A and B are shown apart, each in its own frame.
Chain A
């Protein structure tokens, strides 16, 4: 978040000033990559570039505060994501997103597991194991920092549905982590990933 600087950076970017645009970009590119990475794996970088191309083109048309700008950028990103999914579905060769990140996940070594879990890549790999809708809501809420109302608009659901998805995603993370914990024996009744 840029906070007080946001307004002046946006104004500068709209005037064509690179310094302004760079500030906006540096603030949003990491969360954008992470969101797209969970959803689309290795395609994240290309999708992020497409997103920024559209942002740059339509910058003059944006009006709003910093949260609004974030929401707008992620909305554009989600459209690119949906286009990508349609292309991939037609091609029918792409692995499911959580498989694309599985190489970042835990190995069989418990110590490595623990370390992976606290790393950013490990955390993202874990989130990527959630059902796609839950993963998306968790990423938009926790990593993109968007509130329920904005997330609801982006994913096209009611706020209540967004809350339910977030709760389910958090619960599923807790279950995944409980299963992975070395001293817990996975019992037949526990949900496996």
Chain B
């Protein structure tokens, strides 16, 4: 059915209210003026919820964000940085999927974990004697550490083998065993522990094991702690 061009143009004139509602997605196609029903559908399709490929670049965006955040002169952040590097390295020792999961989650949410771990572990070593196999000064050569920055006080940077309390000036109180952290890092450490990768050799000597022991409140408590973490 043909319509003269001039008549068609008149019919398509919109008032501002209708146009605004169309653009806001508030006009049902069946309520739209003649000719605009499909336009409402097109606009709705253009504003439809995200498809997976539109969210695929998230990891890159987070890396950009981290890079921008780390150049901001915030004192607290700088202190956390090297420790996060330590934990990253520790988890990398565990290898494979655990590392991928854990490193992806590190800086933001795991900052809490990092501080708790610092409070629980610091540079001193938990009471169980086997954890002191390493020499007081040396760390496993594969792990990059910055013990000077990790220490809450310059004076206590002496990496001690004191089998006792955590560093006295830890930024946060030591966490109770009642509240297991469920961040990806801790989950990854527990999974590695359950898979046997932490119980001997390099795994046992690793910083990751030390962190886990600290969080659990002692090596002997790790199995129970991980049971509650992994659920």
Interface range on chain A (Cβ under 8 Å from partner): 35 or more
Contact, CB under 8 Å: B35 / A178 = yes
B74 pairs with A45, CB closer than 8 A = no
Which chain B residue lies CB-closest to A190? B5
Using Cβ atoms and an 8 Å threshold, which residues of chain A touch B74? Answer: 16
Whose C-beta in chain B lies nearest to the C-beta of A173? Answer: B39
- Count A-B contacts at CB 8 Å: 146
Give CA–CA (A122, B38) in the complex, Å.
13
Which of A18, A22, A166, A178 neighbours the largest number of chain B CB atoms within 10 Å of its CB? A18
Q: Are B65 and A143 in contact (CB under 8 A)?
A: no
In the bound complex, residues from chain A placing their C-beta under 8 Å from that of B61 are 21, 25, 29, 49, 52
Cα(A124)–Cα(B47), bound, Å: 9
Taking CB atoms, residues of chain B closer than 8 Å to A178 are 8, 35
Instruction: Tell me if B199 counts as interface (CB < 8 A to partner A).
Output: no
A19 on interface, CB distance cutoff 8 Å? yes
CB neighbours (8 Å) of B77 from chain A are 16
B interface, over-half SS: helix
Return chain B residues, CB-CB under 8 Å to A18: 62, 65-66, 107-109
Please tell me if A81 contacts chain B, counting CB pairs below 8 Å: no
State the Cβ distance, B63 to closest chain A Cβ, in Å.
Answer: 10
Answer yes or no: A93 CB below 8 A from chain B CBs: no
A59 contact set on B, CB distance < 8 A: 68
Per-position 1/0 for B28-69, Cβ under 8 A of A? 000000011011011101111111001101101110111111
Where the two chains meet, the residues of B that have a C-beta atom closer than 8 Å to any C-beta of A are: 1-6, 8, 12-14, 16, 19, 22-25, 35-36, 38-39, 41-43, 45-51, 54-55, 57-58, 60-62, 64-69, 72, 74, 77, 107-109
